[in-house]
Amino acid sequence: MRAGPDHIREFPEATARFSLVMLPYLAYMARKRQKANDLGPAAPSGCKDDRMPLLPESLAMKDDVASWRRHLHAQPELLYDVHQTAEFVADKLRQFGCDEVVTGIGRTGVVGLIRGRPGSNGPTIGLRADMDALPVTETSGVAWASRTAGRMHACGHDGHTAMLLGAASQLAQSRNFNGSVAVIFQPAEEGGAGGREMVRDGMMERFGIASVYGMHNLPGLPVGDFAIRKGPIMAATDEFILTIRGRSGHAAMPHNTIDPIVAGSAIVAGLQMIAARNADPLESVVVSVTKFNAGFAHNVIPDEAKLAGTVRSLTTAMRDFAERRLGEIVRGIAAAHGAEVDVRYIRNYPVTFNHADETVVAADAAASVAGDDHVERETAPMMGGEDFSYMLESRPGAFIFIGNGDSSGLHSSSYDFNDDAIPHGVSYWVKLAESVLPL
């Protein structure tokens, strides 16, 4: 069944959501090398960089935005308990002169509405950033490191929030667009489905949002580069919990028992058949058993064993197929061992699916900031998850990656958002709004 509040446990993605984070970048670099080979020898080192000039306003405000980012970094908050962050964001939006600033959407989310030039009659678009941190103890050693033990901005949401605030400041000042821009600051991306809660709270209807866009930093991708793709860009992130019940007894007399450990071991092996033999080799699916708990003594076969794990997929059809096959395999193997099994399958974040037209618009906006050679338009999808997917289920839109350079990986205790990415991100948001809502 679809995940509800009782089924989204605290931080289910905190250590695994970006375990494959380098795959898109490796594919990106391979394509760049191939392109370079096709074009012939590289230009002399003295040649001009092919990047586009950044917006002067974005460059001028870099230090201010970085100071906001570092303030947020030092005061990380988790899930929906982002009260100080939300207050900081709302205060900034009011200072910028947003036409509306609404708090408490999706519990602790904030939305600022910026209307375009007088007489504007265009649609409203949404630009989204996430605000929450992770339950990680920081080891970065930076001067602005977390002041709260066991909490840190290890995924760059401080940078996402600060860049969107920078863009809001510029858009509120210029009003150089026909329509309205809703800047969306979302809580609880890290396992709490805050995106879903904002949608359920009527955000799209309340502000008349016609399309919505998101952005996430990507370590390993050079600063100033962007990566995007049409269709699935991040996976659905489902979970399963299996309770296998046998009959306990003395380990020296296994013939008098039904061993749940043996049955569980067979299930672990059997589940690998979903990807290896059941699924089309050209379709992506990952089935990983990540927990196996059983037993309490070396000479006792226990009554039960508990297994848990995750299923990742990139299409609705594969998601449905994997859920069905998992149940069939688990129940069949348990029955073959004479055991009983309870299967709990939890659908968490859906596939993050970029809509075709909006992906082109987003990629073109990025190219206007970075130059065509610094936008990978066919990046490989990730098998990590992202709850911006709920907003993309509600409205057409696109999710893009922005380079964080040679930094520690996402969710690492030594990670820090790269402030050099700030003017690129701010410029992208402004260019995107002006492109979608031209005068």
Q: Does residue 188 fall inside a structural domain?
A: yes
Residue 281 and residue 177 share a domain: no
Point out the annotated binding site: 155, 157, 190, 216, 411
Q: Per the domain annotation, does 15 fall within a domain?
A: no
Asked whether residue 160 falls in the same domain as residue 69, the answer is: yes
Tracing tokens 């073109």 back to the chain, one arrives at 364
Residue 38 lies in a domain: no
Among 346, 373, 391, the domain-final residue is 346
Round to the nearest angstrom and report the end-to-end CA distance of the chain.
45
* Residue range 98-129, pLDDT digits in tens: 999 999 999 999 999 999 999 999 999 999 99
Q: What are the pLDDT digits (tens) for 52-100? A: 789 999 999 999 999 999 999 999 999 999 999 999 999 999 999 999 9
CATH number at residue 194: 3.40.630.10
| 278 and 368 within one domain | no
Q: Is 367 in the same domain as 410?
A: yes
Residues 241 and 374 in one domain: no
pLDDT at residue number 49:
55
Q: Would residue 112 count as lying in a domain? A: yes
Tell whether 312 and 371 lie within a shared domain.
no
- The verdict on 55 and 161 lying in the same domain is yes
Number of independent structural domains in the chain: 2
Looking at residue 10, what is its pLDDT? 44
Residue 312's pLDDT is 98
Residues in binding site for Mn(2+): 155, 157, 190, 216, 411
Q: Cα 24 vs. chain centroid, distance in angstroms? A: 14
Residue 242 placed within a domain: yes
Q: Which of 433, 394, 4, 387 is nearest to 205 (CA)?
A: 394
Positions of the chain with pLDDT under 70: 1-50
**Among 346, 378, 406, which residue terminates a domain?**
346
Residue 78 lies in a domain: yes
Model pTM?
0.89
* Pair 408, 333 in one domain: no
Contacts of 180 by beta carbon, 8 Å cutoff, 6+ apart:
99, 113, 114, 115, 116, 120, 122, 123, 124, 125, 207, 208, 437
Residue type, 298: H
| Same domain, yes or no: 423 and 316 | no
Non-local CB neighbours of 66 within 8 Å, separated by 6+ positions: 162, 419, 422
Look at residues 92, 82, 167 and name the one whose alpha carbon lies nearest to residue 131.
82
The domain of 297 spans 236-346
CATH code of 305's domain = 3.30.70.360
